[in-house]
């Protein structure tokens, strides 16, 4: 059976890397997109359409991802065994006391709620499917520990804790939950080229490895420098 990876935040720099990794490992991709423009952006940055099914959903709504899961259950979308979630946004306003309530809520809604809604909708589905070695991977950023990046950093702190809870609650399930903690800059291939930063294609190696390593469960996989992409640095999130 060909496995499928559901990628939430698929059109971003990191999402494109997750899609590329899934395709390279001969898996199919179910990519959540906002609309057709987003879907076109995805195909442009991934470079192929084959193996990718797109589904439009509002990741910020509490029902958006649940509707995707319901369609997969009903056979209207491919069944999936893996999830990579990487919805995010940036607001660098500093100092944070200058941030409006609506701007604060906007970042928390996009970066925290969307990833949580994806988690809440998909985990019961993966458990029900009972496939051995399903995976759930959450992207987080080192901004959350650095004290810079304003509310973007605050949102990362919430994601670190979400990952802790998820590692504990999935310790005895069929889901290998892991967090990828990234401290380097990753951009689409076309952007990375001119900037000398890591490309989505290169970063894809990291997820390829996570998919192939059943020993990595309940871990933070840290990418602090480019070499860490392939030589995985991981430790258990919880003692």
Ligand X SMILES: NC(=O)c1ccc[n+]([C@@H]2O[C@H](COP(=O)([O-])OP(=O)(O)OC[C@H]3O[C@@H](n4cnc5c(N)ncnc54)[C@H](OP(=O)(O)O)[C@@H]3O)[C@@H](O)[C@H]2O)c1
- Interface pick for ligand X out of 43, 53, 60, 103 (rule CB under 6 A): 60
Q: DSSP state, 97?
A: G
Q: 221: closest CA among 81, 28, 84?
A: 84
10/163 with CB nearer ligand X: 10
26/190 with CB nearer ligand X: 190
CA distance 176 to 78: 20
Q: State the nearest-atom distance from the C-beta of 139 to ligand X, in Å.
A: 4
Token pair, residue 116, equals 């949580």
Q: Please tell me whether residue 9 binds ligand X under the rule CB under 6 A.
A: yes
CA distance 145 to 141: 8
Q: Please tell me whether residue 150 binds ligand X under the rule CB under 6 A.
A: no
4/206 with CB nearer ligand X: 206
Residue numbers 61-120 binding ligand X by CB under 6 A: 86-89, 110-111
90/165 with CB nearer ligand X: 90
79/158 with CB nearer ligand X: 158
CB of 16 closer than 8 Å to CB of 39: no
Q: Please tell me whether residue 209 binds ligand X under the rule CB under 6 A.
A: no
Per DSSP (E only), the strands in 26-91 are 28-33, 52-56, 82-85
Q: Please tell me whether residue 185 binds ligand X under the rule CB under 6 A.
A: yes
Part in contact with ligand X (CB under 6 A); list of ranges 6-14, 66-74, 165-173, 228-236: 6-14
For residue 238, is the peptide bond before it cis, meaning its omega torsion is within 30 degrees of 0?
no
Degrees, nearest 5: CA angle 45-89-126 = 75
Residue 109: other Cβ atoms inside 10 A: 17
101/239 with CB nearer ligand X: 101
- Interface pick for ligand X out of 107, 186, 210, 221 (rule CB under 6 A): 186
Q: Please tell me whether residue 59 binds ligand X under the rule CB under 6 A.
A: yes
Token pair, residue 68, equals 């995707």
Q: State the nearest-atom distance from the C-beta of 191 to ligand X, in Å.
A: 10
CB of 222 closer than 8 Å to CB of 239: no
CA distance 72 to 122: 10
Q: Please tell me whether residue 199 binds ligand X under the rule CB under 6 A.
A: no
Q: Which residues bind ligand X (CB under 6 A)?
A: 9-15, 34, 38, 41, 59-60, 86-89, 110-111, 139, 141, 182, 185-186
């Amino acid at each position: 059976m060909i496995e499928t990876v559901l990628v939430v935040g698929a059109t971003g720099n990191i999402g494109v890397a997750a899609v590329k990794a899934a395709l390279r490992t001969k898996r199919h991709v179910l990519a959540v997109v906002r609309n057709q423009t987003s879907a076109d952006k995805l195909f442009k940055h991934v470079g192929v359409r084959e193996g990718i099914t797109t589904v439009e959903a509002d990741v910020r709504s509490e029902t958006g991802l649940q509707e995707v899961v319901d369609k997969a259950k009903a056979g209207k979308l491919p069944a999936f065994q893996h999830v990579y979630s990487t919805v995010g946004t940036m607001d660098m306003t500093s100092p944070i006391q200058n941030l409006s309530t609506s701007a604060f809520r906007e970042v928390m809604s996009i970066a925290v709620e969307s990833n949580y809604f994806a988690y809440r909708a998909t985990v019961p589905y993966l458990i029900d499917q009972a496939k051995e070695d399903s995976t759930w991977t959450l992207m987080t950023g080192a901004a959350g520990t650095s004290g810079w990046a304003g509310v973007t950093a605050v949102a990362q702190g919430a994601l670190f804790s979400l990952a802790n809870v998820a590692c504990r609650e999935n310790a005895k399930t069929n889901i290998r939950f892991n967090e990828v903690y990234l401290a380097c800059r990753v951009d689409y291939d076309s952007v990375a080229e001119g900037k000398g930063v890591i490309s989505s294609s290169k970063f894809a190696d990291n997820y390829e490895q996570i998919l192939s390593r059943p020993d990595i469960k309940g871990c933070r996989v840290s990418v602090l420098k480019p070499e860490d992409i392939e030589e995985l640095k991981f430790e258990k999130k919880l003692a």
